Structure 1
Amino acid sequence: MTPPSPVYVCGPTASGKSSLAIQLAQKLDGEIVNADAYQLYRGIEILSAAPTEEEKSKVPHHLYGVLAANEVCDAMSFREMALPVIESIILKGKTPIVTGGSGMYLKFLTHGPSPVPSSAPGLRAELEGRSDSSLIEHLQKLDPEGAAVTNLQNRRYVIRALEICLLSGKKMSTIKSDWKKTSSETEKHLRGVYLLWDREQLRQRINQRATWMLNHGAIDEVRNLAGASTTCEKAIGIPQIKAMLSGELNREECEERIAAATRQYAKRQRTWFGKETWLNTRHVSETQPPQLDEFANQWLEG
């Protein structure tokens, strides 16, 4: 018998991912694994729109509230936390339902870390001190194919391309080509759904969520938050509520800034997930909410 493979439920904030994940887990005898960067943290359940205790009682949920506010996390740390959890669910013969809107976290989980090396401050400083012509000539010598598809008028692009070549000892074009092939092979075995909402309806849902958060404990969450890490501090709502508590904003201004920041985040999520072509896009709206329709049933069971 083939072990069950994970199902990924992706989409922007306020798109109904949690509800759909529960439906899928109930149908597939599955367990839910969190892939939202901020729902990993304890103490900001309202701010991060984490599942309620009632929702979590319906099916097993994993990786919710597992980090203290002062702990730092990144995509690689998340991958190292999530993989053993997913494996343990599969070993029980159950289906992992991975859900969240943190694109980079999900990318690291599904595809692994990119082979492109990170920036090195010393090398970057050395390259920054060189002339444009010197940089271009060097890149054309090391990676003519890569240089041909790089905007040589953009100094930042040229420096980054050179940095990749010098740090890896390989052509940038070769690294990216190999990674694309590996990713294409990986994606043949992935299954997931992306919830694509009507923009105006999602905007309204986000505005309503901002109001609900402030009325149901988000202010107290921020007031009681102490020693938050740089990761946790990035959660939408924390800087805005802190500004309100210090008197810089009134409540109405705070609510609007939370809603605006969330809408901007949702726009970035839409762009990110729109590029993940392995995801099965499902158009949803208030009259057609996320649900297990006939097509999804055939896809998930096939």
Structure 2
Amino acid sequence: MNILSSPTPRPRVALIAGPTASGKSALAIELAEQIGGTVVNADASQVYRDLRVLSARPSPEDETRVPHRLFGYVNGAEACSAARWAGDATAAIDAVHASGGVPVLVGGTGLYLRTLLDGIAPVPEIDPEVRAGVRALPVTEAHEALEREDPSAAARLAPADTTRVARALEVVRSTGKALSYWQQQRTGGIGDRVALSAAVLLPDRAALFARCDRRLEAMFGDGAVEEVAALLRRADVSPDAPVRRAIGVPEIAAMLADAISREEAIVRAQLATRQYAKRQYTWFRNQPPPRWKRQNQPDLQFYFV
């Protein structure tokens, strides 16, 4: 791989990003085999040890082919924020460099990658009462309030983007400053001290969504139902825990409670997966810098030579 072996004053990091079911994991393992690399997870669902099947983590067989880091290392009772993951990823990347290897980041969580590369915005703790009040607002009212209090954020965010609208509104109400102000104060980040070679997989959308549907349906027969049943039996995992909100978990939980049929659970989980893939596709098409190579096929020669 010429681009990863050419001289550079900064340590090399490879990145393979893109939407779910785009072929990232297979390409990352292939690259790591060729360059003596270590695959480092950058997917928010794959950090949880409770969801190997539903999160499409690499199989035990794949994990024996090359070293893997940060897969299934977080207890489902815990939350794994972008800041926590970025700290863990930085330590993992530094350890791989210290051993003489090349880290191969792989994942589809844009917030994780942005935090790792660009650093963390030092937003003060949000007043719990402010947060509760914002989260209680109807969607339309929340966006209208944001238009008054942080017009630039409202112009960027659609009313349906409820999570980001609420975040922007709670920040400006709690701190008196717009979220964009805090984002300009970012600290940390490894982007300036590594030589990043980035690949973005953007397959044909119709093919991607079809693959999402096939893979999700197969998961129901490959242990996903049993995973969720075990998760639901755990008294230490709060119903509000992030792992309980992972795609497939609410749908299977409803099926296990006899609220919906198996067929309906599959259809709903497939829809949620396609919607998530669509959001990821849009993010990776528009947000990363132009130097991140984009292609619709997982081709190492295109990306890394």
* Superposition map of 1:75-114 within 5 A: 75-114=82-121
> Where does residue 265 of structure 1 map in the other structure?
276
User: How far does the alpha carbon of each residue in 1:51-102 deviate from its partner, in whole angstroms, 9 at most, with x for none?
Assistant: 0011111100011111222122111111122211110000111100011111
> Where does residue 292 of structure 1 map in the other structure?
300
**Offset at residue 5 of structure 1 (A):** 2.0
> Where does residue 130 of structure 1 map in the other structure?
none
Structure 2 residue matching 1:57: 3-state secondary structure: helix
Taking the aligned partners of 1:47 and 1:280, their CA distance within structure 2 comes to 28
* Superposition map of 1:29-108 within 5 A: 29-108=36-115
Taking the aligned partners of 2:266 and 2:48, their CA distance within structure 1 comes to 22
Q: In the alignment, does 2:235 pair up with 1:224? A: no
User: How far does the alpha carbon of each residue in 1:158-179 deviate from its partner, in whole angstroms, 9 at most, with x for none?
Assistant: 9668548736xxx877655666
> Where does residue 250 of structure 2 map in the other structure?
239
Number of matched residues? Answer: 272
Taking the aligned partners of 1:2 and 1:206, their CA distance within structure 2 comes to 40
**Offset at residue 117 of structure 1 (A):** 4.4
Cα gap change, 1:279/1:37 in structure 2, threshold over 3 Å: closer, same or farther?
farther
Cα gap change, 1:91/1:219 in structure 2, threshold over 3 Å: closer, same or farther?
same
Q: In the alignment, does 2:282 pair up with 1:282? A: no
Cα gap change, 1:160/1:243 in structure 2, threshold over 3 Å: closer, same or farther?
closer
Taking the aligned partners of 1:158 and 1:234, their CA distance within structure 2 comes to 22
Question: What is the one-letter code of the residue matched to 1:42?
Answer: R
Structure 2 residue matching 1:6: 3-state secondary structure: strand
Structure 1 residue matching 2:84: 3-state secondary structure: helix
**Offset at residue 190 of structure 1 (A):** 3.2
> Where does residue 198 of structure 1 map in the other structure?
204
> Where does residue 265 of structure 2 map in the other structure?
254
TM-score by length of 2: 0.76
Taking the aligned partners of 1:250 and 1:281, their CA distance within structure 2 comes to 42
Cα gap change, 1:42/1:156 in structure 2, threshold over 3 Å: closer, same or farther?
closer
**Contact kept? 2:36, 2:102, Cα under 8 Å:** yes
Taking the aligned partners of 1:92 and 1:56, their CA distance within structure 2 comes to 19
Structure 2 residue matching 1:192: 3-state secondary structure: strand
Cα gap change, 1:191/1:15 in structure 2, threshold over 3 Å: closer, same or farther?
same
Cα gap change, 1:159/1:250 in structure 2, threshold over 3 Å: closer, same or farther?
closer
Cα gap change, 1:172/1:26 in structure 2, threshold over 3 Å: closer, same or farther?
closer
Taking the aligned partners of 2:126 and 2:263, their CA distance within structure 1 comes to 41
Taking the aligned partners of 1:73 and 1:105, their CA distance within structure 2 comes to 10
Unaligned residue ranges in structure 1 (runs of 5+): 128-134, 140-145
Structure 1 residue matching 2:202: 3-state secondary structure: strand
**Offset at residue 272 of structure 1 (A):** 2.1
C-alpha RMSD of matched pairs (Å): 3.5
> Where does residue 16 of structure 1 map in the other structure?
23
Cα gap change, 1:188/1:93 in structure 2, threshold over 3 Å: closer, same or farther?
closer
Taking the aligned partners of 2:16 and 2:279, their CA distance within structure 1 comes to 17
Question: What is the one-letter code of the residue matched to 1:200?
Answer: A
**Offset at residue 151 of structure 1 (A):** 6.3
Deviates more, 1:94-103 or 1:115-124: 115-124
